[in-house]
Structure formats: structure tokens, C-alpha cells
Chains A and B, each alone.
Chain A
């Protein structure tokens, strides 16, 4: 098959995201014993408290979309990630143009794996502080 320009471009983008992910994964995604997890969730791993996100200590599937929201408030996050530039107003990942404040957290943030911002499926925005 002929060279896939779109795929090549996507691969280049993915490669750069992987590099970024590596750096950030090194920062917050660490071995917690039973599995990898976030440094800021360390206390849950110490107590084997899977229930905090999964709703059960013997999880067989991923947590509900609203699990994160029990501790993290999207309105506060939206204020925290407000874009200063008027032109970039709607590039706020927690209150964005297309979906408002309703993107499930796990679309962009992984607990046991690194994830990339969903916005970058189409855009080339900079999310320097993204916790992957």
C-alpha cells in the first residue's frame, strides 16, 4: 500500500505525545506494588483501597465516569485551567467548546496507564500541565 500520509502525520504526532507521556509518566505514574498508579493517589494503594474509584475492592472493570468527581470538582478544575488569552477561552480542557464540562475524566487521564488529551485528536493545543 502507498505511504499513508495521514497515518504518517498521526504517527509523528503520536510519537511526540509518547515522548511527552514518558516524561510525565516518569513524574506521576509509578509502581505502587500491585500495579502502576498515580503518586497523588498513593494512600489508596497502601490500603489496597480499590473501592475509592472502582466502587469495589475486587474490581473487574473500569470505574464509573463520575467516580473521579466524588473528590475532584469539575467547576473548580475549570477555573484552575482557565485560558488567559480571550482567543483561547474555549481551549480550557475542563470547560471546552465542543463538550463543555462533560468529557469523562478518564478520556484524558489514566490511572494505570498514560493517556493523551482528547483535544489533540484534532487540535495542536499545548497542555503543558496535563496529568496524563
Chain B
């Protein structure tokens, strides 16, 4: 089939009745015909979303000669989820790797990611991102981002290849990129919500409907405007971790009980609109929850990084039983599900606790912070700990003794935990404790794209003209599980790629 009638297709969808009603439930606007439309503004490139992908796209578009590029952001502040993430950036063949003598390559990085993707990751996309990751890292440095003087090796990576900003936060990158955008002439507009696409009679995306003066959470705010995009629209709207209905539709365990590390705006409307146009949903059910998160603070907080560091030499304990219930360094999904299964006598959520020797916990900079901000606790004895969290003391004492036996022998007979990193790290007083409860962290799913950041049409199998997608709103690249620190390179490289595709670079 060629020359798909987009508007005719929408009528077809409306004709489905109940399905149409269900689709209308989110109260989203629909794409409209460009015929007779009154344009309020005209730009060459319209970018929707101001996280890593959008910011990188804006800078690259300008560098490629684009005279008029605007980033539209629905929230009152710029940065999206990128501004609050951990600032971890993986790339092969970097200056620090050369300096440290780390032997790495595109092939090696892709191999690690394919393994994590469990056979369903998109190899072409992964290779594309790994091949250009150094360019993206350089863009951040040129803009003024500063990184710790050491590489990290995150779970699933075969060599150290991860940079981290000195503020251990994505804002260490978004703020410099934001300044760079303004410097090179990218127009930044906040409180402007994307409301739908404007397509011409040939099915090409030629503009977007926006609500200017929009206040998040107040859906009757904002004035409707039509913005023409003469070269293209780049969707950089992020994931849908904050959309409880959608994530539950994909994975029923992700109820509202499960928190979220994401910024409030990560609700997925941009993705929905692309589906209406005919984009193909891929891997929507692969939603990554962080088993390292705490119910005692919002978002990613301080406990997340603290837990990631301490899991190898700590035990996670069910407060009802005083016993361990999982391998503390199993994969994220296994641990998240195990945590969710911790219930009280009435079946209500009872967040488990992670117990660490203060001696080892204190090696991580966040230890001081979790104690200071009341999201972690320190105890001089198991008795005090058990009393505070209402844990059966005898069972807990027996468990700690048993676990220390595994530390000594090097073999975890309970859950098969790899005790290599726990060698010599016995559990002993004083202890530090945090509560654990999973939070939805990353959505591997989204619209299908190719190595040019073009969005594929489900009807024609070809790209949807005028439409590009980059970052977490796109799906399929990472497969079942995304390796830590691989999101920033994905977002930035694909943002840059979208700009290059549009500008014919």
C-alpha cells in the first residue's frame, strides 16, 4: 500500500466504536489535516521535549545550519527526566579509557548490551549509538559538562566505560546543553504542551498543535496554536513511567503502589499521538523498575545510588520473617518482583530493609546523606534494629549468622548470590539500614525507529515523512533490559541523528 490516507485511517479508527472510546479515554487531542490550517508560527524544526535528546537535537540542528529551531517543553522547567537522573554516560574509546589503558570498542559495548537485551535488542541501533557515543560525550564537554576523574563499571558492562558528572546528576549535562542551545540560537519555550500533529494530504507531518501557556496538571489551561515545521518534527518526549494506566496495561505488577523515579511529565502522550499516526509500538511491556529505590524519598533520591553500591555486601530482609528473600544482586526485574512480594499479615505492602555494616556503607558518599535526611538509619545492635523495624529478632540473628557463613565460604546456599564482591565483608555492628521498594525507572518500549531516527509506519513499512523520534520515547533499542549508563548516549546520539537526518548531513 502506498499513499496512506492518514485522515481516512483516523475515521477508520473512530469507526471501531468501543476501541475508539477506549482510545479517547486519555482525553488526548487528535492529529488534524493541514488543509486550511491557520499557522500561528513557522519554524524549520520543531522539537518536542527538552531532555538530553531534545537538547542534543537542537544544538546539532543549529550546527548543521538550521536557521530556525525551537524546543517546546510542557513543564515550567527544562530538562525533563534528564535533569534528575544519575548523570552516568557510557561510551567506548573515550579519552579516559585511553588514559587508564582500558581496552574497549563499539563491538564490545554492543555485545554487552545485546546480552542484557536477551536476544531482542536492536543491534543496528545499538551499534549506531555506540559508534557515535564519543561525539555526544564530546558535545557535553564542549558545552561545559565536568565529569569525575574516574571510570565506573556498571552492572552488565564488561569493562569500565562509564563517565559520571561531578554532581552525580544529569543536570550536570542538561544545564550546560541548555546554555549551549541558547548560545547557538535554539529557541527554548516552556509551558507549551504538544497536543497533536498536523499532517498534509500525503500523510506528511508538516506541523504540530500546541497549547501555549499550559500549566501541568490543569488540562483546561493553555491557548491552542498551530506551529508549522517546514523541515521536520522531532519527538523527544521521554518515557511513560509516570502513566500508571499504561504501564499496568503492559505489566500488571506495576500498580500505583510502585513508585517512580521519573519527573512528573513522563506520561507518554507524545508517543500515543505517534501511534495514532501509524507508528509501530515495540517492547512496551519491558518496563524497568529499580529495586534499589526507597519509599522514604521521592524519585531517585539518595538511597538509590547508596543501595546500588551496597547490595553486593548487604542482605535484604523481609520484616515479617526476619529472613532474606532474594539474591541481592540478581537482575532488576527479579529483585523488584521479590520486593513487591513482601507483605504484612493483611497482604499490604511491607517494604523490606537492606542491612549493611556501617564500615562498608560509609565507603559511599551517599551514606552520610541518607542518614542526614532521614531516609536511612544507623543502629549499634541487631536488637535496636529489630525493635525499630519490628523484625523477629531471633530469626534475624540466625539469618545474619548464616549469611556471614556464606561470606566466609564464598558460597550463598540460600539464593546463589555471587559472593565475590562480599569477600571479607562480614555483617557486624554498627549497621546502617534503608527501606527498599521498587520504582518504575525506564520504559524500554516506544515507537519503532531506524538508525536515521525516522519513525516507521505500520501500514507502509516506510518512514512517516516529516517525523523523527529520539530518546526514551523510541523503543526496541535496548530489548528486555537497558544497561545502566546507556540511556544518555542513546538519547543524545539519536537526538543528534534526528537533526542530521533532517538537515541531510
Contacts and interface: CB of A to CB of B under 8 A. Distances in A.
A95 to B, nearest CB: 11
Interface string A59-80: 0011001000000000000000
A27 interface: no
B167 A122 contact: no
B373 A123 contact: yes
Interface string A110-132: 00000000001111110000000
A103 B297 contact: no
Contact of B259 (A1, A6, A62): A6
Interface stretch (B59-67, B101-109, B343-351, B462-470): B343-351
A10 B295 CA distance: 9
A7 interface: yes
A97 B168 CA distance: 10
Contact of A5 (B171, B191, B257, B301): B257
A104 B298 contact: no
B76 A103 contact: yes
A64 to B, nearest CB: 9
A10 B78 CA distance: 25
A103 B171 CA distance: 14
A47 interface: no
Contacts of B77: 98-99, 102-104, 107
B264 interface: yes
B374 A97 contact: no
A2 B257 CA distance: 8
A9 B258 CA distance: 12
Nearest to A104: B76
Contacts of A7: 256
Most buried by A among B77, B169, B346, B369: B77
Nearest to A7: B256
A100 interface: yes
Most buried by B among A3, A87, A104: A3
Interface in B201-232: 213, 215
A44 interface: no
By size class, the interface of chain A is 20 to 34
Interface in B262-308: 264, 295-301
Contacts of B479: none
A122 B84 contact: yes
Contact of A2 (B190, B259, B347, B351): B347
Contacts of A125: 373
A9 B296 contact: yes
A121 B76 CA distance: 15
Given A2-B349, A6-B257, A124 B437 contact: no
Nearest to A103: B77
Interface string A87-102: 1001000000111101
Contact of A97 (B171, B215, B437): B171
B177 to A, nearest CB: 12
A6 B299 CA distance: 11
Contacts of A120: 298
B79 A123 contact: no
Nearest to A124: B373
B299 A122 contact: yes
Nearest to B439: A6
Most buried by B among A1, A10, A98, A103: A98
A83 B213 CA distance: 33
A3 B79 contact: no
Nearest to A107: B76
B444 to A, nearest CB: 22
Contacts of A87: 369
A97 B295 contact: no
A100 B76 contact: no
A6 B171 CA distance: 25
A4 interface: yes
A32 B115 CA distance: 65
A58 B313 CA distance: 64
B175 interface: yes
Contacts of B300: 122
A37 B360 CA distance: 52
B375 interface: yes
A98 B264 CA distance: 14
A55 B281 CA distance: 46
B298 A5 contact: no
A99 B78 contact: yes
Given A4-B256, A98-B169, A122 B297 contact: yes
A120 B295 CA distance: 14
B151 interface: no
A87 B215 CA distance: 33
Contacts of B296: 9
A112 to B, nearest CB: 15
B295 A3 contact: no
Nearest to A97: B171
B241 interface: no
Contacts of B301: 122-123
A99 B190 CA distance: 13
A65 B77 CA distance: 11
Given A99-B83, A107-B76, A9 B349 contact: no
Q: Which 5 A-B pairs have the closest CB atoms?
A: A122-B298, A122-B299, A3-B348, A5-B349, A6-B259
Given A99-B83, A102-B77, 12 more contacts: A2-B348, A3-B348, A7-B256, A97-B169, A98-B169, A99-B78, A103-B76, A121-B298, A122-B300, A122-B301, A124-B375, A125-B373
Interface of A: 1-7, 9-10, 61-62, 65, 87, 90, 97-100, 102-104, 107, 120-125
